[in-house]
Structure 1
Amino acid sequence: MRESKPTILLIGGDKLKQFRKQSYTLYNNYGPTENTVVTTSFKVEQMEDNIPIGKPISNTKIYILNASDQLQPVGVVGELCIAGEGLARGYWNREELTAEKFVQNPFEPSERMYRTGDLARWLPNGNIEYIGRVDHQVKIRGFRIELGEVEAQLLKAKG
């Protein structure tokens, strides 16, 4: 007789909007490429209005900051920032963007921190809830698109 093993499905790359109990265990992962793809993880067990993205994985630190780089308390929305072992060195041949997004960690000056541009908040149980973006960037099929760039191209074509 063949032994059945539990099946686990890891998902990420976009906001999880629905959940239905299945025969497999589902983990909702969050993480930008700038931090080796998975930064937080959440075992989904029921449908929620806004399915959390979970808690930081090992060797990862998450900060949720206001516009003055102050830590936000539980329940208050701010920019999700990442520090830790998985952080990239920066963007290839994009020094200006690297300097803007990969900044000195104000809480551990010997470390760098990545400013994701994502809005989130801590939940009372220690999980993180993804809210949206601080800018007008959207993701379409995994590609980051700046709506301002689309608008500029449409205005060029109109003339």
Structure 2
Amino acid sequence: MDWNGTETQYPADALVHRMIAQQAALTPQATAVVAGVSLSWREVNEKANQLACHLGNLGVGPGSLVAVCVDHGVQLVVALLGVLKAVGAYRTSGPGLSGGAPGVPAR
């Protein structure tokens, strides 16, 4: 299937949260996410940075596992990027997400 023909090669060491920050610098007002509401690249990056700072203040860092339980939408994108920017790892959980059932601890 040839969805929309936007396949691109990225360096093997490319990190998604850094690529998002670069895109936010290049096209800050362009729409990045649409899911009920829309956010620009700048807004996604700023919200993820705020969350990363908060998570860091809570002690999230290398080796930390953060449970993310939100519905699909812009909040999920921001949450996952925020965890990555805090140098943590995440596990999704909740309705419609593949990480597991609510109330089941991550291993």
TM-score by length of 2: 0.27
TM-score by length of 1: 0.21
Higher normalized contact order (CA 8 Å, seq sep 6+, divided by chain length): 2
